[in-house]
Chains A and B, each alone.
Chain A
Amino acid sequence: MPDPKLPSILVVDDNHDNADIIRDYLEARGYPISVAYDGDEAMKIFEREKPSIILLDVMMPGRDGWQVCREMKDHPTLGSTIRVVMVTALQDWMNKRQALETGADDFVEKPFELAALAKVVERNAARLAPTS
């Protein structure tokens, strides 16, 4: 059962297996979760469900994670309160710089342990405004 005190999370990954594993794991820890498998779907769910934290895969066909992040952060009503965590296999300085340019708040390097992901979610949850 989702814990109403925990922030809602949107998981975006074009790889269904990855997305489902993350969903199951975080759901088991009580987070309310929604899942999107591409950028367009992510934007629709984002506007409908208004999640507090978004876990966003960078490499997706069509609109990639960078673009989706920028659009979410630019959203006139929701953009200023959300935390966006980029999930990326790219580890170098330039990519982290690019993540900053798009407005992202945090990142997880692939491949990652689920426990490490949980820590990242927790530290971003702690940064959310008390009302959300």
Chain B
Amino acid sequence: MPSYKQLFRAAQEKIPTVAASIESLRKPIQERGELVILYFNFDRYTKVEEIYGWEKLDEILETTTAAMRDFFRNGPFASSQVMVSFVNDDDFVLFHIPAPDVPVPTDEEITDLTVRLHQFIATRVEEAYGESIAALFDTYVGRAHLYYDPKIRLERQIYRGIRDAAASSVSVEQRELARKSADLRETLRTGALWIEYHPIVITDTQEIFGYEALARGKMRSMRRPEVMFEVAAQSDMIWELSRLCRNTAILGMKDRLEKGQLLFINVDPHDFTDPAFTEMDLDVPDPSRVVLEITERTAIKDYPKFRGRLKDFRDRGYRFAVDDAGSGYAGLGSIANLEPDFIKLDISLINCIDANFIKQNLVETMVRFANDQNAKVIAEGVERAEEYETVKQLGVHLVQGFYLHPPAPDPVAPPVETLSVTGK
């Protein structure tokens, strides 16, 4: 059991929980007679956890907490406030009791506050973790205005208020989704997309082996592919978006990739149900230079049929990579089932691998497994020299990450010697 004190303080965020805050709120609420509850919903923080692992989200939550404290230290909300969070989750609640003679904030003030708060936190997150993480999340703020009723137990009033504020943050989120759906439709109509090519290098020689194509929307709200694809999934436009991303990436490959270099394209298992996605429809002169990346995260429903589709592509010369390998509990068996040419390790296994011997053991196991399968292992998300040296020692064949190259609209200068392709 956690200690008595820990129960009332969120372990990571080091700020009080709702239960711990109510006592200190009682008197000021009774005196003022009203209370404003703001509910902060940081959308897609769960995505951070999915992609980078819980340690990263814990760090980001700490940064967020510190940023929120700094943000609210000055300005109209500084007078009286208690900030709380829900233990083990990523939403925050702020109780605001205005000082005497200060009016409660209006809806316009809250909207203005949301924009500024988001900017403030995004800047802090970007400073600490880079632009790619900062561009991932959105901030939605819901609001509830409570008038104290002495007949009703204060705890219940507060919990109802939190529920109302949470619901109002969801409706803000839904309005935002409608706006983003419109942005996505516009993106699809005008092809407002560009591709960043992220180099994948040979670990030992650091020569460029290929590039992963990363689609970015030109519109501000569509910058992050995760956001774009989430909006597409919610608006039933996945196939259309996937087609546009694939075609744009392949088009760029023609005059941008050196001879022999491979192009890695992300493909969702759902794409294989798209009638327009076949081994014959892709306009690729040399399919053996295209690697289709399939994430381990998506559940594949009809395995035999799926494998049949993979075979059609394989027969034409396309190659396959299992993306995010080792992220879940699926184990090595399900990876073997896909008979991949490449295995891309999940970023969470690479992050701080130099300090964690369990990660090292897992990666070593994967390299052995890949060697048995005649596949190559790619370590993604290598950001530090120590991580690079560790994966190199463990025998990882290929490396991708900011430590060597950031993604770039145009591939970096070609290597002195053009590589021969030795995929499988």
Contacts and interface: CB of A to CB of B under 8 A. Distances in A.
B21 to A, nearest CB: 18
B137 to A, nearest CB: 22
A55 B406 CA distance: 40
Contacts of A76: 6, 9, 11, 14
Given A74-B12, A76-B14, A106 B357 contact: yes
A99 B349 CA distance: 12
B362 A93 contact: yes
B381 interface: no
Contacts of B361: 96, 107
Given A92-B331, A94-B329, A105 B357 contact: yes
Contacts of A104: 358
Contact of B358 (A71, A106, A123, A127): A106
B355 A100 contact: no
> Majority SS of interface residues in chain A?
helix
A76 B361 CA distance: 28
B365 interface: yes
A20 interface: no
A107 B364 CA distance: 14
A94 B361 CA distance: 13
Most buried by B among A93, A94, A106, A107: A93
B359 interface: yes
B11 A93 contact: no
B74 to A, nearest CB: 27
Name the residue among B11, B331, B332 with the largest chain A CB count within 10 angstroms.
B11
Interface residues of A, number: 20
B356 interface: yes
Contacts of A5: none
Nearest to B5: A76
Interface in A100-132: 100-101, 103-107, 120, 123-124, 127
Contacts of B9: 76
A105 B356 CA distance: 5
Given A76-B11, A76-B14, A127 B355 contact: yes
Interface string B1-44: 01000100101101000000000000000000000000000000
Contacts of B217: none
Given A76-B6, A97-B329, A123 B357 contact: yes
A74 B11 contact: yes
Given A71-B2, A76-B6, A99 B358 contact: yes
A105 B355 contact: yes
A24 B174 CA distance: 62
With most chain B CB atoms within 10 A of its CB, the pick from A97, A103, A105 is A97
B54 interface: yes
A94 B327 CA distance: 10
A74 B61 CA distance: 14
B326 interface: yes
Nearest to B356: A105
Interface in B283-330: 326, 328-329
A124 to B, nearest CB: 8
A104 B54 CA distance: 13
A103 B56 CA distance: 12
Contacts of A71: 2
Contacts of B357: 105-107, 120, 123-124
B331 A100 contact: no
Contacts of B54: 101
Given A76-B6, A105-B355, A107-B358, A93 B365 contact: yes
A93 B356 contact: no
Contacts of A93: 326, 331-332, 362, 365
B355 A97 contact: no
B358 A100 contact: yes
Interface string A66-103: 00000100101000000000000000111011011101
Interface of A: 71, 74, 76, 92-94, 96-97, 99-101, 103-107, 120, 123-124, 127
Given A96-B361, A107-B361, A123-B357, 7 more contacts: A74-B2, A74-B11, A93-B331, A97-B326, A100-B362, A105-B357, A106-B356
13 contacts: A71-B2, A76-B11, A93-B331, A94-B329, A97-B328, A100-B358, A100-B359, A100-B362, A101-B54, A105-B358, A107-B358, A120-B357, A124-B357
| Nearest 6 pairs of A and B residues by beta carbon | A106-B357, A74-B11, A93-B331, A94-B329, A99-B358, A100-B358
